[in-house]
Structure 1
Amino acid sequence: MKIKIGILTLSDRASEGAYEDKSGPAIKAVLDEWITSEREYIYEVIPDEFELIKERLINMVDNLGCNLVLTTGGTGPAVRDVTPEATEAVCEKMMPGFGELMRAASLKFVPTAILSRQTAGIRGRALIVNLPGQPKAIRECLEPIFPSIPYCIDLIEGAYIETDENVMKVFRPKQKKIS
């Protein structure tokens, strides 16, 4: 089964064409290194608008069938940073450990990591994860959390994600043999 992965960049300026989005392509590049499963990306760049973010997240999961949606941008303390609030509004279960681990990992690189409000949650059979908006921070935040993502998606009965174990080893509990 092919996994559908949504990549949603939240940026007023990139959505207006004032500059090229580099964060969304950075997510895809990292995932292409790690994931060996057949996959399809659904990629959008939209402004930091609460209702629009909610609408696009719902569309990616409910209508387009994404089992993993990664957002980038809108997670800081600025007035227009509303990605975590939009994510919480569309999720049935919040998964705060993802944000906690990303902030802890980011603190190794920048003291301002404590200003980040990344979070994650479950909507139906999809995991939605908020990543920072800086391309450099994409890998720094995805590396520590990704080992748990495939198993999380297994638990919510989404598509099975396989990785190249030489570059990204994921955790799945060992299956007991029934004799």
Structure 2
Amino acid sequence: MTTYTCAVLTTSDKGAKGEREDTSGPALRELLAAHGFKVAAHALVPDRIEDIRRVLKSWTDHDKIDLIITTGGTGLTPSDVTPEATRPLLDREIPGMAEAMRAASFAKTPHAVMSRGLAGTRGESLLINLPGSRRAALENIEVLLPALPHALAKIKGDPEDCQAHP
């Protein structure tokens, strides 16, 4: 089995100023490590498009990290800009991942319809935007966990046919 690398980027103005503890980033790193991912990097930046893009580009283009998770900045407040920072960097969007996360979250709260997170590829990296709350971030990534190894293999050019698994 292939071990994939991952990184977690928390976007939070208050977190960057030390006014709020980042609970979603560490929880995501722990969960991903428990599922066999090698945590290669993590960072916390303010909700600024240029800061978010700088880290995402470095992790995809220079570090070649397989899976990059962002947490925070997917809502409707004026400072929530993570999807706007992410979208122009993507080679291809994967709408089904974002749709699956929102559908699962909607079963728990009607507020899930306000989440604007994206998923897509840049080179051979998979980028996924998650909400900023610890609970929502974990609930969302857990929806995708079963599909991530296969998705990453395909992004890297795995020629095997996709088959339905019982």
TM-score, length-scaled by structure 2: 0.90
Q: Aligned runs of 1:29-178 on 2, under 5 Å? A: 29-35=30-36, 39-157=38-156, 173=163
Residues 54 and 89, structure 1, Cα contact 8 Å, conserved in 2: no
Name the structure 1 match of 2:10. 9
The amino acid of 1:4's aligned partner reads T
Q: How far did residue 146 of structure 1 move?
A: 1.6
Residues 7 and 24, structure 1, Cα contact 8 Å, conserved in 2: yes
Output one character per residue of 1:2-27: Cα deviation in whole Å (capped at 9) or x when no partner: 53211000000101111211110010
Aligned residues between the structures: 160
Q: How far did residue 54 of structure 1 move?
A: 1.0
The amino acid of 1:95's aligned partner reads I
**Partner SS state of residue 81, structure 1:** coil
Distance in 2 (CA, whole Å) between partners of 1:115 and 1:41 is 30
**Partner SS state of residue 62, structure 1:** helix
Distance in 1 (CA, whole Å) between partners of 2:39 and 2:155 is 19
Q: How far did residue 101 of structure 1 move?
A: 0.7
Output one character per residue of 1:79-103: Cα deviation in whole Å (capped at 9) or x when no partner: 1111111111101101111111111
Distance in 2 (CA, whole Å) between partners of 1:61 and 1:146 is 20
Name the structure 2 match of 1:168. none
Name the structure 1 match of 2:23. 22
The amino acid of 1:90's aligned partner reads L
Distance in 2 (CA, whole Å) between partners of 1:44 and 1:13 is 14
The amino acid of 2:33's aligned partner reads D
The CA RMSD measured in Å over matched residues stands at 1.8
Residues 116 and 132, structure 1, Cα contact 8 Å, conserved in 2: yes
Q: How far did residue 124 of structure 1 move?
A: 0.2
Using the aligned pairs only, state the percent identity.
38
